[in-house]
Structures are given as structure tokens and as C-alpha cells.
Amino acid sequence: MNNETMSPVEPCVPDDPADGWFGESVAATYDAPGGANAPEPAAAAVDVLEDLAGGGRVLEFAVGTGRIAAPLAARGVPVCGIELSKAMAARIEGKTGGASVDVTIGDMTSTRVPGEFSLVYLVFNTISNVTTQDGQVDVFVNAAAHLRPGGLFLIEVGLPDLRRLPPGQDIVPFAVSPAGEGAG
């Protein structure tokens, strides 16, 4: 193969440990079409969130690449986000509506953004990225601290298929490997 027939190669950007589990190598393909990134599931979620916001400001914890926040902002809803990974957050601005999403890099267990919100939301089972119960309680405390009186905290979690839980078992591994990764 000579230089004329070679396709362009993306520069290899190493993952920054500060980005946690969602470094550049994950962010690069996170928005690949299909599954949760298909337009229909996102639009259905945005419909619900726009309705719950009731015309007020909203805050997404772990806003990621703006999969939900950008289309919500495109509808004119004022949207802020907190996100740990700079690599993920870097994708938001390029999306329709993304330029108006106000992102703060930080940890949703403790990072505060100014002002009060009608709605704080945390979707896509992302509470499970906080791996201690104390940390998960901190997420709820932090959400409450951002809400105006009467405001709402919406959280989306995956529920294990109950028929896969025989009596006495309360965990379903989603992956089993010799390296011990992926159990949950």
C-alpha cells in the first residue's frame, strides 16, 4: 500500500486518567448510531424531560456527549450539565443545540453549579458509575441542593429481569470473564 491508497488515520489520543472510565477511546465511538444513540429513544426522553422542566432551567448530571442535553437545549430549554470526562464533554458543542449547553467539568457527587433548577436528571443507569452507597447518597444530596422548591430529580436505572433472579440471588452478572472484569 502506498501513501495515495492509505485512508486517513485518526491521531491516537491517549486516555486521560482524570476522565475515568469514559476517556477519549470511549468518547470517540460513544455517538455511533444505533441503540440508545438512535434518534427515537433520545427524542422520547427529551419529550418527557421538556414536559417535566415546565419551562424552567434543567441540569443533567453526567451529561456525557450531550446525547440528551443537546436536543433538549435545541428545543429552547436552558440546560446545564456536570460531567467528569473532558473527552466526553468535548463532543457536546458540535451537536445541534450543544453550543448552548453550559457544561461544568466535575464530579456529580459534589460539584455545584450556580442557580436553581426545576429539574435535575441522571439517565442511562449512570448512578451505577458511582460505586459506593455513600457516593450514591451524595448524588441525591447534590441533586436536591440544585433544585428550586418543588423541583424534580429524575433518575433512570436499568432493572434486572426478575425472572433471572431465583430466590436468594440478588445479582445478575452482565459479563463473566477470567480477568474478573464486567461483573455487576
Ligand X SMILES: C[S@@+](CC[C@H](N)C(=O)[O-])C[C@H]1O[C@@H](n2cnc3c(N)ncnc32)[C@H](O)[C@@H]1O
Tell me which residues touch ligand X (CB under 6 A): 20, 22, 62-64, 67-68, 82-85, 88, 107-109, 123-124, 126, 129-130
Task: Provide the minimum distance between the beta carbon of 118 and ligand X in the complex, in angstroms, as a whole number.
Answer: 18
Question: How far apart are the C-alpha atoms of 117 and 55, rounded to whole Å?
Answer: 10
**Cell numbers 424552567: residue:** 56
Residue 82 beta carbon to ligand X: minimum distance, rounded to whole angstroms: 6
For residues 110 and 165, which CB has a smaller minimum distance to ligand X in the complex?
A: 110
Per-residue cell: 170: 440478588
- Residue 72 or 123 having the CB closest to ligand X: 123
CB-closest chain residue to ligand X: 64
For the CB of residue 70, give the shortest distance to ligand X in the complex, in Å: 10
CB of 27 to ligand X, least distance (A): 8
Q: How many CB atoms lie within 10 A of CB 53?
A: 22
Q: How far apart (Å, rounded) are the C-alpha atoms in residues 71 and 49?
A: 11
87 closest CA partner among 8, 14, 10: 14
**DSSP annotation of 146:** H
Nearer to ligand X, 115 or 158 (CB): 158
Pick 17 or 166: Cβ nearer ligand X:
17
Whose Cβ is closer to ligand X: residue 157's or residue 165's?
A: 157
Strand partners, 60: 81, 121
Give me the least distance between CB of 169 and ligand X, in Å please: 26
Cα angle 35-77-139, degrees, rounded to a multiple of 5? 70
